Amino acid sequence: MVVRSVEVSFHVKLREYTTIGIGGAADRMAFPRSPAQVREVVLAEGAAGREVRVLGAGSNLLVADGGVSATVLCTRKHLSKVVFLSDETVVVEAGVMLPRLAVLCALSGLSGMEPLSGIPGTVGGALSMNAGAYGQSIGERVEWVEVVDPGGEIHRIEARAIRFGYREAEYPVRGIVVRAGFRFVPGTRETVFEQMRQMNERRRSRQPWGERTFGSTFRNPREGKEKAAQLLERAGMKGEREGDACFSVKHANFLVNQGCATAADVRRLMSRGQSAVRVSCGVLLVPEVKMWGEFDV
Ligand SMILES: Cc1cc2nc3c(=O)[nH]c(=O)nc-3n(C[C@H](O)[C@H](O)[C@H](O)COP(=O)(O)OP(=O)(O)OC[C@H]3O[C@@H](n4cnc5c(N)ncnc54)[C@H](O)[C@@H]3O)c2cc1C
């Protein structure tokens, strides 16, 4: 690493940084403390000809057993500032966890984060893929997003210039999300906390809770009424396993690591799920989970 002021570790086991607890090592991991340090890392690694990948909470990520030959820029550790301004506007760094932001908003009497309060990802990860729940997504709440492009330039992009779709976001400038501004609405603490409690209770009753998973494995198909979980269940994949990887018996689209599953086990199980759904329902399921590294299947 060329930038001396930035904290860095070498040969970092990515399984310790993903919610499913799987994955080989990254060559280097950088932990920037500010958007300016993100810029420095991007510039230095670019000059050294090294690939840079960005990691939030690793809650929608499958890393190959062989790891990745790249510098992984971890936002979660230090990019964690939240600033409340006077007009219901909140400025948030990319590594802030959505549940933490939701609680801070509730304590400040602001409503709007409740549906996102149970998603175990960072603001940057959520903005890169328009995370959402209960019919609302983060793209509907954000006012602007700051992105560091591959040349190290910081751009402030107004939300209207970003195309937010179902679990995807298309930015006019490709790069790393470093900070965003949100506008919430006034609410009462008690009502906001109660909303969050109800939504998270509903989540706990329908999804595996406290298990190692990366959330939804496949996107819900555009055509037809059935969701990916229903299709997998109809195809007999609920509870199916490869090694310690298993489609949850509580929610078939959540793939869980029940012990020492490898990324290869997960990929094999995903591929079996896709084949079973294609044969029995005529639908091709597309992965929602992001994959890093080399896979055989
Ligand atoms: C139990 C559980 C429940 C879940 N429920 C939901 C749900 O209800 N709704 C939902 O939408 N998702 C859900 N997820 C999936 C996941 O939490 C979200 O997709 C979340 O937004 C991912 O954020 P992250 O910080 O973990 O991103 P990571 O998993 O670290 O990264 C995901 C992708 O985003 C990119 N990325 C991360 N940070 C940045 C950044 N700063 N700039 C640019 N790109 C970045 C990464 O490079 C990668 O391609 C769930 C996951 C789990 C484990």
Bridge partners, residue 7, by sequence: 31
pLDDT for the residue numbered 2: 54
What is the reported pLDDT for 5? 86
- Distance between Cα 224 and ligand 1 center (Å): 26
State which ligand 1 atom lies nearest to the alpha carbon of 137.
11
CATH of the domain at 89: 3.30.465.10
Query: Which pLDDT does position 234 carry in this prediction?
Result: 96
Together in a domain, 159 and 122: yes
Q: Could you give the CA distance from residue 27 to residue 38 in angstroms, rounded to a whole number?
A: 18
The answer for 295, left when phi > 0, alpha when psi is -120 to 50, beta otherwise, is beta
Residues 165 and 217 grouped into a single domain: no
> Are residues 49 and 95 both part of a single domain?
no
Residue 179 pairs in a beta bridge with 93, 146
| Beta-carbon contacts of residue 261 (< 8 Å; ≥ 6 apart) | 20, 22, 242, 243, 244, 245
Are 253 and 216 in contact, with CB atoms under 8 Å apart? yes
Q: Ligand 1 atom closest to Cα of 175?
A: 43
Told to judge if 111 belongs to the known catalytic residues of this protein, a careful annotator would answer no
Are the CB atoms for 284 and 274 separated by under 8 Å? Answer: yes
Please give, one letter per residue, the 3-state secondary structure of the chain: CCCCCCEEEEEEEHHHHCCCCCCCEEEEEEECCCHHHHHHHHHHHHHCCCCEEEECCCCCEEECCCCEEEEEEECCCCCCCEEECCCCEEEEECCCEHHHHHHHHHHCCEECCHHHCCCCCEHHHHHHHCCEECCEEHHHCEEEEEEECCCCCEEEEEHHHCEEECCEEECCCCCEEEEEEEECEECCHHHHHHHHHHHHHHHHHHCCCCCEEEEECECCCCCCCCCHHHHHHHCCCCCCEECCEEECCCCCCEEEECCCCCHHHHHHHHHHHHHHHHHHHCCCCCECCEEECCCCC
Domain boundary among 162, 179, 204: 204
Q: Bridge-partner residues for 13, per DSSP? A: 25
Q: Which structural domain range is residue 96 located in?
A: 82-204
Ligand 1 binding pocket includes 120 (Cβ within 6 Å): yes
Do residues 96 and 53 both lie within one domain? Answer: no
In whole angstroms, what is the distance from residue 118 CA to residue 199 CA?
Answer: 8
Query: Which residue, 39, 74, 109, sits at the end of a domain?
Result: 74
Q: Let me know if 114 is a catalytic residue.
A: no
The total domain count for the chain is 3
Same domain assignment for residues 53 and 135: no
Angle between helices 189-206 and 98-107 (to 10 degrees): 150
Q: What is the pLDDT along the chain (297 residues), one digit of tens a residue?
A: 557 789 999 999 999 999 999 999 999 999 999 999 999 999 999 999 999 999 999 999 999 999 999 999 999 999 999 999 988 899 999 999 999 999 999 999 999 999 999 999 999 999 999 999 999 999 999 999 999 999 999 999 999 999 999 999 999 999 999 999 999 999 999 999 999 999 999 999 999 989 999 999 999 998 878 999 999 999 999 999 999 999 999 999 999 999 999 999 999 999 999 999 999 999 999 999 999 999 987
Listed residues 148, 180, 204: the one ending a domain: 204
Predicted local confidence at residue 296, as pLDDT:
83
CATH code: domain of residue 28:
3.30.43.10
Which atom of ligand 1 is least distant from the CA of 60?
29
Q: What is the pLDDT of residue 222?
A: 86
Nearest CA to ligand 1 atom 3: 215
pLDDT of residue 114: 97
Indicate the burial class of 14 (C-beta count within 10 angstroms; 0-12, 13-18, 19 or more): buried
Same domain, yes or no: 93 and 68: no
Q: Residue 1's pLDDT is what?
A: 55
As a whole number of angstroms, the longest Cα–Cα distance in the chain is 56
The active-site residue, picked from 167, 183, 189, 219, is: 167
Catalytically annotated residue among 216, 233, 242, 267: 216
Whether 147 is covered by a domain: the verdict is yes
